[in-house]
Structure formats: C-alpha cells, structure tokens
C-alpha cells in the first residue's frame, strides 16, 4: 500500500516513485489491457467525440486506444498546453502527426479548436495519478484538467469523465479541495470501477 501523510504533494511523490520503477514491458502490458478494457466501456462505444491525451513516460498508455478510437471513426480531441496551463484542443489524425511540445508532451499538429472544444465531447479521458472510492481524482498539480472540468460545468456539458490508471493507483482516499470534481469511472488493466 502506498504510504503518505495526507497531503496531495506527498501522495503525488509516492505514486510517481512507484511509476518510476515500472519497466517498459510493464507499461506495454498495462497499455494493451487498458485499451481493451476502455474500448468495452459503453461510454466509449457510443461516443462520437472523445477528448483524450497522449500518454508520455510511465503514464498508463493511451496510444493504442487513440488508434482504436480513430479506426472506429471517433473524433478524438487532444490537448494543447497553453502558456497559462489552460488547454486548447486539436484533432488526432494519427501518431505520425503528433509534435513534440513543452514538458515532453506530444500534441496534435494543425488547427486549434479553442479551449471550449472539449464541451462537445461525449467522453473525456483524464490523466491522473490516483482515484479514490468516491471518484476523486488526483492529478499532477498543474491545474490544467481542473480548468477543463470547471469549463464543462460552466457550459452545462455532461460528458462521461473517465480516468485511466494502474491497478495500485486506486487508493483509499485522495485529499480533496473545493475545486476538485469527481470522475464517473476509472479504468485499470484489472477492470473498471464506477462511481455514483
């Protein structure tokens, strides 16, 4: 079990330390299982537009999932990090059209759709480091996805909010702040858990 003192910073450090110990094979095996599990979700099966992200480093892998969604004819929106940490969006047109960006991220090349483009998504796949039994998600602390979730709420948009994690990143409790929003489901290589 991951040990921490109850604050977000300590929990982030503990989770990132565990991820740092994963091998390339661990990440690849988990990505294949995550992709299969995610594609079985009704929220993705019926989605016409999905806001997703390109995994980097030891994050739970999304690349196979992005390709599978694109092959199904789903319109996939990918984030573009803005200087103020907000997110713009662009269309995913294939791995070969991704460009290197700041902080080691991969972003879609081409036209930008604006920060509000996410409000048209049927499902939003969120990166994270952990989720608890209430559906509270712990991100990396930059606030980009907090802004996305607040934007969805202001617009009255109600896409399914799904976080992709490793099995051991479903924890007993995530420290919560007033701006935090719960997710509807977590997908891990071992299964899917839904939250009320």
Binding residues for ATP: 8-12, 137-145
DSSP-assigned letter for residue 85: S
Binding-site residues for substrate: 54, 59
What are the residues facing 88 on neighbouring strands?
80
Question: What are 177's two structure tokens?
Answer: 């702040």
User: How many angstroms separate the CA atoms of 145 and 85, rounded?
Assistant: 9
Residue recorded with tokens 């993705």: 44
| Nearest of 173, 171, 170 to residue 191 by alpha carbon | 170
Annotated binding-site residue numbers: 8-12, 54, 59, 137-145
**Helices marked H in 130-177 — which ranges?**
144-155
Short-list 103, 102, 76, CA closest to 90 = 76
Count other C-beta atoms under 10 Å from residue 69's C-beta: 24
């Amino acid at each position: 079990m991951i040990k921490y003192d109850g604050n977000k910073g300590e929990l982030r450090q503990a989770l990132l330390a565990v991820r740092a110990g994963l091998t390339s094979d661990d990440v690849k095996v988990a990505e294949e299982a995550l992709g299969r599990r995610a594609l079985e979700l009704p929220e993705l099966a019926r989605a016409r537009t999905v806001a997703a992200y390109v995994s980097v480093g030891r994050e739970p892998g999304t690349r196979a999932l992005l390709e599978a969604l694109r092959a199904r004819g789903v319109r996939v929106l990918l984030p573009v990090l803005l200087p103020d940490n907000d997110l713009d969006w662009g269309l995913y047109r294939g791995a070969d059209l991704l460009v290197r960006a700041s902080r080691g991220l991969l972003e879609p090349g081409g036209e930008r759709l604006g920060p509000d483009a996410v409000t048209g998504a049927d499902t939003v796949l969120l990166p994270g480091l952990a989720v608890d039994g209430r559906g509270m998600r712990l991100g990396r602390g930059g606030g980009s996805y907090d802004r996305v979730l607040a934007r969805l709420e202001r617009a009255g948009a109600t896409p399914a909010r799904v976080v992709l994690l490793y099995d051991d990143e479903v924890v007993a409790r995530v420290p919560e702040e007033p701006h935090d929003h719960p997710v509807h489901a977590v997908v891990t290589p071992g299964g899917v858990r839904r939250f009320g």
